[in-house]
A and B are shown apart, each in its own frame.
Chain A
């Protein structure tokens, strides 16, 4: 289908398949590669975080997905449709905020939505009032946007997205400039959109805490490359999936018993007691407990090591930093 923008009568994009799928997506600006062979898979019906430091290539990736800039190489699909080939049809059911939401400041919130509704098509006009109610702006819709706070503009941006009745929302750094209360409200709204309305939310952020609290899955991007992606819990665990922290009454005896066992790859004292890396997975934790009890060690605590996404992110990026500077001696 040609990418004309006037096909408002086209059927909805089909349900099924990933919400976003990219393969080898690349963007070069002259000599600089901003996005480098990104393979992204965003499942439908989830909140997916696109996590990375500033300048990692998040916004450029989003801009390519939305057709705001051309890809240098690679392929993209959104809602099962190849883009940019079927961009017009696909974007009918996609709502997006790129960077910060911008509006005509001299127009009211309602008028700004009317402008976008006019471009989206007749059904969009009927969604203006519900969209304003959904984001809690019904009372202030008649005020000029220049008088809106940053939080209100963000909410108006989401209302603008809702005019498409989107199957997929793409939000670029959506909590920038929000106060803590606004951030909390925003999180709840995004979770409701995913859990109650079945929408997919693709959310880019450099704030790890935000992604961890809002999203079901995430991809970590750094220097234009996807470093890892998957469910948040798995990403956070990373290489710590077979680590235990033990509280024991005799650390020396415990280390001696653990050191002689094939169940344990590494055991070392730590501030919390003894830290153990298992040779197998966490299912062998009970055997480790039995081993210690059998050796006469009193076990007061036994729990898997849980990394936060932040720890994992720092782990990954510091590893990349080290890889980039092999000649430097660590401090």
Chain B
């Protein structure tokens, strides 16, 4: 990375992380559900140990990973990606950056790693909470080995990173923060599960991003996460196509828009 690219990356990170309202929601979405999950399970276990298993262990880890990587983590990733994709245009600063002579593609390109850096910082903290709950509340249960812990981390970064990158591209395309957030969260929470459960659509459902991402999970996701089965190769292809499509659209719009 050149010095200028590093500086631009730092500047884009600054813009996102200093956006207090967005960051509060991101932290709430990424951390609070994990805390609530383990706290609730720990309370249940302490109130009735015979009826409820300890909150931690491999089962707690699986629940935590599923919650962080497939439900709330992607929502946090969407908020960060949209902020990175629309921040300059929404503030009217984009044209001031363009008149520096820096290429528009360069300006677009620095948004993606910056969004990922912020997103992954939060997700790593969230994953740390999952591990804390997993081991602290394991009691006599089996705990995940190092390999599973590392695979879980990789999956958390992959699942949220892909969504975050798609959000940067989509937000750069729309240039409207409310529109991008509404569309992406609507897609993630409503449209994706709905489409995935319409069995008459057959293999067309393979194109749903969240369904493809589930196939990289190191833990059993169960019916609540995956309704569609596909090979890992197909899943990888779907993920790559989503990334390529939305990065290309975001870059095209950033390069061609009148400011």
Which A residues are within 8 Å of any B CB, using their own CB? 3-6, 8, 63, 66-69, 87-92, 94, 96, 98, 101-107, 111-112, 114-122, 125, 160, 164
Contacts and interface: CB of A to CB of B under 8 A. Distances in A.
A68 B95 contact: yes
Contacts of B200: none
B93 A104 contact: yes
A68 B18 contact: no
B41 interface: no
Contacts of A4: 103
Given A6-B2, A6-B4, A8-B4, A118 B99 contact: no
Contacts of A87: 101
A290 B67 CA distance: 101
B140 interface: no
Nearest to B5: A6
A67 B99 contact: yes
Contact of B4 (A67, A107, A112, A121): A121
Contact of B15 (A8, A63, A115): A115
Contacts of A111: 14, 18
Contacts of A68: 95, 98-99, 258-259
Q: For this complex, into which size category does the number of interface residues on chain B fall?
A: 20 to 34
Contact of B101 (A91, A106, A117, A125): A91
Contacts of A125: 7
Contacts of B98: 66-68
Interface in B79-96: 87, 91-93, 95-96
A166 to B, nearest CB: 11
Nearest to B9: A118
Given A90-B101, A92-B101, A111-B14, A106 B4 contact: no
Interface string B12-28: 00110011100000000
B97 interface: yes
A177 to B, nearest CB: 15
Contact of A122 (B3, B14, B258): B3
A103 B91 contact: yes
Contact of B100 (A3, A101, A106, A119): A119
A107 B96 contact: no
Nearest to A107: B18
B92 A102 contact: yes
